[in-house]
Amino acid sequence: MTDALKALVLRPDLCVCFAGNVRKAEKALEWVRKELQTEDYDLSAILQLLVRASVDGESGIPITDFIVATLRSNISIHMIKDGRLESNVRTAWIGDYDAFCAFQEYCNSPDVSRLSLAEYPEELKKYVTVTNMTEAFRRVLSDSRFPSVDNFLISVTSRPAGATGFAYLASANMEAPGTSAQGGYSYSILPSKCSGIAVIGLYFNQGQFGALIYPQKYEDPIIYPRMTMVEFIKKVMDEHNIDLWRFGFEGDGSH
């Protein structure tokens, strides 16, 4: 089994991503959550725990890679790859290396990088970079050469409103316009309004149903059939006390 939410915002100041053996990673993250019971957690202990979890206990063969991002006093990114820890890296990629090479090619292709950094003031340049990276990643997702990189593109930011910590980004995706009878397919990603919660809502517009991915409590997604987006958001609030945030509009939930 390789499908899972691969970026987990475990606290407002800590995000852990993984690639490889899902079950092994989930077991390791259970240990991490125990380490996070105290407010002043030991980051070095968490990193060493994940290093041990990244290799098979009997053969010593690397089976899972991790990226750990923290917003504590020293903002940093740490990568655990091939059983080794690299700390304070500027960028990191784990998983399918060929897909990473394609991602870099797409990032640098003229049609993706058409938004020129030179045309924007300094404070807006970071948004151009994010836009280009997102478009490049979408192309990797749709590239049939890389079946290991698939499913929904879920993004995490370190600069939500108020700079309160790591949070998932809401988005709306229109893969094909029209009704389901016309072959239409679109969905919305609905994160929690509060940062630091590893939960994502997915709403499928043509199908009129929602799915809640809540890996800290449930192994499988919870499906909510036959309801509008507004009804789905209300249901999640009533059952889990989690307020989901919609992207772009506050309409009646029918889009």
| Residue showing tokens 């009129």 | 208
Whether 161 shows a pLDDT value over 50: the answer reads: no
Q: What is the mean pLDDT of residues 8-36?
A: 91
Residue 252 pLDDT: 37
Most trustworthy range by pLDDT among 39-43, 53-57, 249-253: 53-57
Across the chain, mean pLDDT equals 86
In this structure, how many other beta carbons lie within 10 angstroms of the beta carbon of residue 219?
A: 8
Q: Which fold has domain 7-86?
A: Glutamine Phosphoribosylpyrophosphate, subunit 1, domain 1 (3.60.20)
Percent of the chain with pLDDT over 90: 50
Q: Which of 122-131, 198-207, 244-253 has the lowest mean pLDDT?
A: 244-253
Q: What is the mean pLDDT of residues 224-232?
A: 97
For the chain, the residue count is 255
Q: What is the mean pLDDT of residues 206-213?
A: 95
Q: How far is CA 43 from CA 7, 48, 117, 195, in A?
A: 17, 9, 36, 19
Q: With bands split at pLDDT 50, 70 and 90, how would you rate the model's confidence at 162?
A: very low
pLDDT in tens, 169-183: 888 888 888 888 888
Percent of the chain with pLDDT over 70: 88
* CB of 247 closer than 8 Å to CB of 188: yes
Q: With bands split at pLDDT 50, 70 and 90, how would you rate the model's confidence at 237?
A: very high
Q: What is the mean pLDDT of residues 146-162?
A: 78
Q: With bands split at pLDDT 50, 70 and 90, how would you rate the model's confidence at 32?
A: very high
The sign one gets for the Cα dihedral 53, 56, 61, 65 is negative
Q: What is the mean pLDDT of residues 94-100?
A: 94
200-204 β-sheet, strand order: 171-176, 185-191, 200-204, 209-213, 222-224
Whether 85 shows a pLDDT value over 80: the answer reads: yes
101, 82, 79, 80: which is closest to 146 by C-alpha? 101
**pTM of this prediction?**
0.83
Q: What is the mean pLDDT of residues 146-159?
A: 85
Non-local CB neighbours of 244 within 8 Å, separated by 6+ positions: 190, 191, 192, 193, 201, 232, 233, 236, 237
The 3-class secondary structure across 179-245, one letter per residue, is: CCCCCCEEEEEEEECCCCCCCEEEEECCCCEEEEECCCCCCCCEEECCCCHHHHHHHHHHHHCCCEC
Rg of the chain in Å (alpha carbons)? 19
Residue 251 pLDDT: 41
- Strand-strand pairing, 200-204 and 209-213: antiparallel
* Residue extents of the structural domains in the chain: 7-86, 97-142, 166-240
